[in-house]
Structure 1
Amino acid sequence: MFTTRPELVGTHGMVASTHWLASSAGMAVLEDGGNAFDAAVTVGFVLQVVEPHLNGPGGEVPVVFAAAGETAPRVLCGQGVAPAGATIAHYTGLGLDLVPGSGMLAATVPGAWDGWLTLLRDYGTKSLRDVLGYAIGYARDGFPLLERVASTISTVADLFRDHWTSSAALWLPGGRPPEAGARFRNPKLADTWEWLLAAAEAAGSDREAQIEAARRAWSQGFVAAQVDEFFRIAHRDDSGADHAGVLTGEDMATWEASYEDAVSVDFGPWSVVKPGAWTQGPVLLQQLLLLEGFTDRLSYVDGVPSAETVHLAVECAKLAFADREAWYGDTGDVPLDVLLSRDYARDRRGLVGDHASLDLRPGSPGAVAARLAGHITRGPSAASRENSGALGEPTVSGVGTVKGDTVHVDVVDRWGNVVSATPSGGWLQSSPTIPSLGFCLGSRAQMFWLDEGLPNSLAPGKRPRITLSPSLALHDGLPAMAFGTPGGDQQDQWQLGFWLAHTVGGMNLQEAIDSPMWHTNAFPSSFYPRSWTPGELVVESRVGEAALAELRDRGHSVVDAGPWTLGRMSAVARDSRDGLLRAAANPRGSQGYAVGR
């Protein structure tokens, strides 16, 4: 089949990410003797500069990885928790029934800095200056501004001018939105990173001591102090009112990144590995388990999925995501053992018919009835369609409502280390810029419910159930592939399309990424205002007119997304038989890139 670019094959190292500058910086670290962890951290910091509408220093990062010499993959949690003052009573006392999607109330403890530094300390080899220097250079000296960044800034320009004046000072130079392609600088962010480096290097020459000093300077030093002060000021948010935040310096001082076991399910020679149910990651495993009963009905012709393949995948996705809404969260009693069992999948599979379902149907693992948030039981918000639509990565809606998205990075090195990370949050449009630091904090708390007693109910010290969902795959028990994509609720749907193209369609990494993608919006969005559209199916037109017509006949409300619009997948792989490394990246948007040799 035709591919937009070749699948890269080499022996030294491979980096794939959502921006060419970040991939190139990661490869430079590999060329300088660094390992996959050094490269991934480097990429993560550069992405905070060059894709500021999709992630930032005040965001978060989950990482799934396999380290050479270790027996099992692990997950690093760089997702911060809800502040001590983030109680349901506080939010409902403000007259809110949902956590706003922007502003100060939506912030959790920023986790990306501590997450990346913890990974660097424990698995990397380079110094903090080695991996942070590339990002500092782009922040200080400038980088070419993506069209989507310029468009995002233009959309929120009035909000910045009228309410978020500190953001206007940074993102509206001369009072106007910057031009796409213009050289853009963020010297205040460069200063912040240099101050953190100074604190690190004041601890002496030991690499780990420097990293620990930099972690403290963030969570217990000047960064936390500046956050604490700024979050006492009320700012406008998506509710239409001005609210101060509840995040404090103490919240930052008492949290740190952590490691945990990964979740996995075997599929023949493959094992697919995901973070746990504080993410949506297990829904990919649920979808694959459901589809096991339909393997003889899945097919591809010249890289294009059949209408039957898309239909079955979408109907299985609806069931898996309904379970996400009912059962996933940062609690100790999520019944993953049942949700990821083949017996449960077999029972749920009987709900898949030849026509599209228009109902949200969570299951009852262990014969326990599902309970959903009141916002869901009141029904879909048919008049609120900003989370729906053809672009699949709706960073900014046509009516000016701003949503953020995400970035992704995959790295494999010659020693067999494999890393997949999906950083997000701290988007330039998520909350006002902290003027003394040059960045803003995230809005991940919008994913909590304000109903009591649900797995994903808001509570101090709790992680929101996030959409961020990096992936790893083992083949015959050995680390073989890392992959992922931005896209919020669509992440594990586009990853499913990639996986099926690769394992069912027999395509290589680049062919599988280029294969036509799809997703459904038939379950509640994780993002404010939490709307959804039953029956809606968004499909790239390259599936063909006949397939689109058949899907409509099956009862799907089909949105033709155009030929190249859905997903920003990237992937790397390692063949344990000959040590060959592979990589591929998404051509959509002319932005993602894989590099290697």
Structure 2
Amino acid sequence: MTVMRPQLTGTFGAVASTHWLASAVGMGILDRGGNAFDAAAAAGFALQVVEPHSNGPGGDVVISVYPRSTGTVRVICGQGPMPRAATIDRFATLGIKQMPAAGLLPATVPGAFGAWMRLLAEFGTMPLATVLEPAIGYASRGYPLLPGAASTIAAMAPLFRTEWTESGRTYLPDGAVPAAGSRMRNATLAGTYERLVREARAASTDREAQIEAARSAFYEGFVAEAIDRFARTTEVFDSTGRRHRGLLTGDDLATWRSDVEEPCALPYGDFTVHKPGPWSQGPVFLQQLAILEGCDLRGMGLGSVEYVHTLAEAAKLAFADREAWYGDPAHTPVPMAELLAPAYSARRRSLIGDSAALDPEPGRPDGGEPWIPQAEPEQPGADEPEWMAHLRSGLPTVTPAAPRAGAGNTCTVAVVDRWGNLAVAVPSGGWLKSSPVIPDLGFALGTRGQTAWLTEGHPNSLAPGRRPRTTLSPSIVLRDGEPFLAFGTPGGDQQDQWTLQAFLAIAEFGLEPQAATELPASHIDHFAQSFAPRVSRPGVVVVERSFGPAVLAELEKKGHRLDVVPESTLGKVCAAGVDPGTGFVRAATGPRGRQAYAVCW
């Protein structure tokens, strides 16, 4: 295959992210003596500014880390829980049967800031002021507005002008829709970051004490107070077509802290793959691997009809289990050990046939009875404005192809430093169309609560204090116990299909990471999306045209219902790691989206 971008290798450090400015910020931190964890945090804060249509300070993040000093992978959970006032009965009294996509009702505790602070405190080395400096600079002095952000602002401008007026003040300079490439500022957000730094410095001269003071200012101080006041006193027009106050309170923020957890892990040949737990969709990557391990993938050939068919069928089986069994293990038992057991995986593998399965069912780990809730389709109102249709969609994008392609959903940053530390994060939530910008803060709340079910008895049912199952799913892979690769991608439910395809290209076929990120990609759309309005397309496999007409024709003969999309449109895999043969660091980003870039010295 012809690779569009070179494989970047070096000796000092490498950063790959979904925005060139964030990658440059991360490398700048490495150059100033910071480690991979400092660099990931600085890049993450920069992404909050320069990709406001995909994430923000009020959103969430999942971070995976490998500190060389300990030789163990850990996961930092930045998925905040639902408010204590959020109950199924509460929504029933409001006449709501499916979690709204946007507004204040689906808002969770904003977990991103707490997770970045946990990363810095436990694994970083640099002061908070240094890490936040680039984000403050872009927010105050300006950054070039991405086309995706400009499209979102243009689509939502009528709502911003009439209802979400603080969003209008923030993103409609002089009341006009900004053009792609224009200089965009967010002075209020810069002021929020600057005040967090001031309060941190006022509290102590000790680095870790400053980080804790900033965390406290966010979750117990002026940020929490502004969020509490706004949610309690403001009736916000939301995706139900009505106005509601929020359920989130200052007490919800004050009682939450980001956790550092052991990952789910699975050996695969010489590799060990580490994923977040079943409060995310992360283990679905491992389930697919466990099913595929007994298949002759190399014999099929990379990108062949049999290869694409087998991956699609394995995905259906693994995602059926995700839908039936995954949830917050702090609130509900999840049979993860059985779901990854060799005997269970073999039984699931035996279900893969020569033809496409149009009715894949979840398994029965430990003899349990599976259950997948069904979404109640929403009926659009008569003569509904276009922006209302966008508001009803829980995805951050506004273009018609976005739900299929997913390239603009969410952000990613992956870092490796000269010491062999690995960090990868997938930030999301709090985007432009999730909820209104909060006065005095400059950012919106995330709406991850939309991924929970308003139905009793399911592992992912709505409940006070429960984490709604997130799609955010970073990966860290060790090879023979040594650091190898950290990677992730935007893309909602599709993340663990696109990254799996890239990993298999490396592990089974020996491709360099850069070549693996550029391969033709595909994903199933069989199950309901995690995001409102939970659209499903049974039997559909979305494929890039670059697979070629012969492969596409044979896939249709096998019974797959194909949705063929333009080449290089599915996902934006970002990866950083260590070449085990040379010890060089390396980084890779695919060309999809035209904004993901890697930097390597």
Task: Confirm or deny a common fold (TM above 0.5).
Answer: yes
Superposition pairs for residues 147-158 of structure 1, below 5 Å?
147-158=147-158
Superposition pairs for residues 233-382 of structure 1, below 5 Å?
233-296=234-297, 299-300=300-301, 305-331=303-329, 332-375=332-375
Query: TM-score, normalising length from structure 2?
Result: 0.94
Give the match's secondary structure for 2:27: helix
Alpha carbons 1:382, 1:533 under 8 Å: kept: no
Does residue 529 (structure 1) correspond to residue 533 (structure 2)? The answer is: yes
Aligned equivalent of 1:390: none
Superposition pairs for residues 187-586 of structure 1, below 5 Å?
187-232=187-232, 233-296=234-297, 299-300=300-301, 305-331=303-329, 332-375=332-375, 395-398=397-400, 405-576=409-580, 578-586=582-590
Greater displacement, 437-446 / 356-365: 356-365
Alpha carbons 2:430, 2:444 under 8 Å: kept: yes
Give the match's secondary structure for 2:446: coil
Structure 1 112/351 Cα, relative in aligned 2: closer, same or farther at 3 Å?
same
Please give the alpha-carbon distance, in whole angstroms, between the structure 1 residues aligned to 2:473 and 2:518: 20
Alpha carbons 1:431, 1:441 under 8 Å: kept: yes
Please give the alpha-carbon distance, in whole angstroms, between the structure 1 residues aligned to 2:30 and 2:590: 22
Greater displacement, 283-292 / 571-580: 571-580
Give 1:296 shift: 4.5
Please give the alpha-carbon distance, in whole angstroms, between the structure 2 residues aligned to 1:355 and 1:381: 33
Q: How many pairs align?
A: 585
Alpha carbons 1:297, 1:308 under 8 Å: kept: no
Runs of 5+ consecutive residues of structure 2 not aligned to the other structure: 382-387, 390-394
Does residue 87 (structure 1) correspond to residue 87 (structure 2)? The answer is: yes
Greater displacement, 510-519 / 202-211: 202-211
Sequence identity percentage:
52
Alpha carbons 1:382, 1:531 under 8 Å: kept: no
Alpha carbons 1:414, 1:579 under 8 Å: kept: no
Aligned equivalent of 1:141: 141
Amino acid paired to 2:527 = F
Please give the alpha-carbon distance, in whole angstroms, between the structure 1 residues aligned to 2:227 and 2:238: 17
Please give the alpha-carbon distance, in whole angstroms, between the structure 2 residues aligned to 1:321 and 1:564: 24
Aligned equivalent of 1:76: 76
Aligned equivalent of 2:31: 31
Give 1:505 shift: 2.5
Give 1:353 shift: 1.3
Superposition pairs for residues 8-27 of structure 1, below 5 Å?
8-27=8-27
Please give the alpha-carbon distance, in whole angstroms, between the structure 1 residues aligned to 2:372 and 2:28: 48
Alpha carbons 1:381, 1:533 under 8 Å: kept: no
Amino acid paired to 2:317 = L
Give the match's secondary structure for 2:416: strand
Alpha carbons 1:298, 1:306 under 8 Å: kept: no
Give 1:577 shift: 5.3
Give 1:225 shift: 0.4
Give 1:172 shift: 1.4
TM-superposition CA deviations, 1:263-312 (whole Å, max 9, x none) = 100011111110000000000001111112222565446xxx11211111
Aligned equivalent of 2:54: 54
Please give the alpha-carbon distance, in whole angstroms, between the structure 2 residues aligned to 1:479 and 1:518: 28
Structure 1 525/482 Cα, relative in aligned 2: closer, same or farther at 3 Å?
same
Please give the alpha-carbon distance, in whole angstroms, between the structure 2 residues aligned to 1:93 and 1:578: 62
Give the match's secondary structure for 2:559: coil
Structure 1 177/217 Cα, relative in aligned 2: closer, same or farther at 3 Å?
same
Structure 1 472/173 Cα, relative in aligned 2: closer, same or farther at 3 Å?
same
Greater displacement, 498-507 / 535-544: 498-507
Alpha carbons 2:396, 2:431 under 8 Å: kept: no
TM-superposition CA deviations, 1:358-377 (whole Å, max 9, x none) = 114111111111022243xx
TM-superposition CA deviations, 1:10-54 (whole Å, max 9, x none) = 111010000000000100000111000000000000000000000
Give 1:595 shift: 0.3
Give the match's secondary structure for 1:551: helix
Please give the alpha-carbon distance, in whole angstroms, between the structure 1 residues aligned to 2:44 and 2:203: 24
Does residue 65 (structure 1) correspond to residue 65 (structure 2)? The answer is: yes
Query: TM-score, normalising length from structure 1?
Result: 0.95
Runs of 5+ consecutive residues of structure 1 not aligned to the other structure: 388-392
Aligned equivalent of 2:384: none
Amino acid paired to 2:240 = S
Please give the alpha-carbon distance, in whole angstroms, between the structure 1 residues aligned to 2:267 and 2:297: 19
Amino acid paired to 1:282 = P
**Aligned-CA RMSD value:** 2.1
Please give the alpha-carbon distance, in whole angstroms, between the structure 2 residues aligned to 1:267 and 1:236: 49
